[in-house]
Amino acid sequence: MEIYNNAIDEPLATEDILSESEIVTMIMTDNEIENNPSPDSEEEEEELPSVTSKEALNALKILIRYEEQLSDNDEISFNDLRKRLPLYERKYEKTKKQVSLEHIWCN
């Protein structure tokens, strides 16, 4: 146990002993890096492509079919998915636009 206590007090052979001003500078630099990310790191974050209501509805239907196929499916989660189906169908119906047929009758 005494060997371990002595090892903690000894400086590491691979590091130089820093002065107080060097320690403060190092801490300030670390804080600046953490609080102000560089513009390069912001560019790395890609925007996820938007998902249409039709894609969401189709994905939910696929997920429900998948849950139906599982032998150990959880009825609670399965019912929750089924309850969401009408909600997604309504959202999909709201996104549809009615097309005018007026141009057919004018010709």
Least confident of 61-65, 71-75, 102-106: 71-75
Mean pLDDT of 20-33: 82
* Structural tokens at position 53: 């209501």
Return mean pLDDT, the chain: 77
Do 93 and 56 contact (CB within 8 A), yes or no? no
What would the two tokens of residue 102 be? 């007026």
In angstroms, rounded to a whole number, what is the distance separating the alpha carbons of residues 10 and 27? 22
Contacts of 56 (CB under 8 A, 6+ apart): 88, 91, 92
Lowest mean pLDDT among 9-23, 53-67, 78-92: 9-23
Taken as a whole, the chain contains a residue count of 107
Mean per-residue pLDDT for 48-64?
91
Least confident of 28-32, 46-50, 72-76: 72-76
Q: Residue 23: which pLDDT band, with cuts at 50, 70 and 90?
A: confident
Average pLDDT over residues 74-89: 84
Inform me whether the pLDDT recorded for 14 exceeds 60. no
